[in-house]
Structure 1
Amino acid sequence: MFNLISYLFFLAISSYITIDVGRRCYNAGKTYLEYLLNDKNLCLTINRILLGCYYLINLGYIAISLSTWNKVNTMEEVLAVTAIKIGYITLILCFLHFTNIFALYFLRKNLTIK
């Protein structure tokens, strides 16, 4: 019973966070990509690819992480396990976001040197 509750909390919260952050990064990323690459069509294509990969990685991790849970016996464990798993999701989101920013920055830097 408690496992089902924790699964539902985790799926609802982590899916919302993933979709909301993805949408925000997609919208804000348009301007950043246009500044870096100076080509609107290429920027739109790259931004869509990044968004699709972002969703696939995060939603895949969310689905896989459900299989690693131990049995939850109390409501306190529901909150603790759910908070830890959501913390992992947010750390992954931060890592992916900053990796993309740095990769695009260094790509732009290399393109302007040539």
Structure 2
Amino acid sequence: MFNIISYIFFLSITSYVTVDVGRRCYREGKAYLKYLLHDESLCLTINRLLLGSYYLVNLGYIAVSLAFWGKIGSMEEVVTVTAGRIGNIILILCVLHYLNLLTFYFLRKKLTLK
């Protein structure tokens, strides 16, 4: 029973965060990519690919992480386990986002040196 409660909280919060962050990064990332690449059609293509990859990676990780949950025996464990798992997802989102920004920054530097 406690596992089901934890799954519901985990899936609803992480799905919301994943979709919301994906939308925001997609919407605001257009300007960043235009600044870096100066090609509108290439920017939109890259932005769509990044969004699709982002959703696949995050929703895949969320699904896989459900498979490794142990038995939860109390409401206290529901809160601690769910909060820890949600924190891991958010940290992974943050790292992936900054890796993408750094990658495009260094690609831009490399392109401008030619």
Aligned residue type for 2:34:
E
- Corresponding residue number in structure 1 for 2:76: 76
> What is the 5 A alignment of 1:1-114?
1-114=1-114
What's the secondary structure of 2:87's corresponding residue? helix
Q: How many residues align structurally? A: 114
The list of structure 1 runs, each at least 4 consecutive aligned residues, that deviate by more than 2 angstroms after superposition, is: none
Please tell me the root mean square deviation across aligned C-alpha atoms, in Å. 0.3
C-alpha distance in 1, partners of 2:48/2:92? 19
Q: Cα deviations across residues 35-64 of structure 1 (Å, max 9, x unaligned)?
A: 000000000000000000000000000000
Structure 1's unaligned 5+ residue stretches are: none
Percent identical pairs in the alignment equals: 67
Paired residue secondary structure (1:71)? coil
Q: Deviations over 1:9-35 (max 9, x none)?
A: 000000000000000000110000000
Q: Distance in 1 between matches of 2:61 and 2:7?
A: 14
1:101 corresponds to which letter in structure 2? L
Q: Describe the SS at the equivalent of 2:33.
A: helix
User: Aligned partners of 2:22, 2:97: CA distance in 1, in Å?
Assistant: 9
Extract unaligned runs of 5+ from structure 2. none
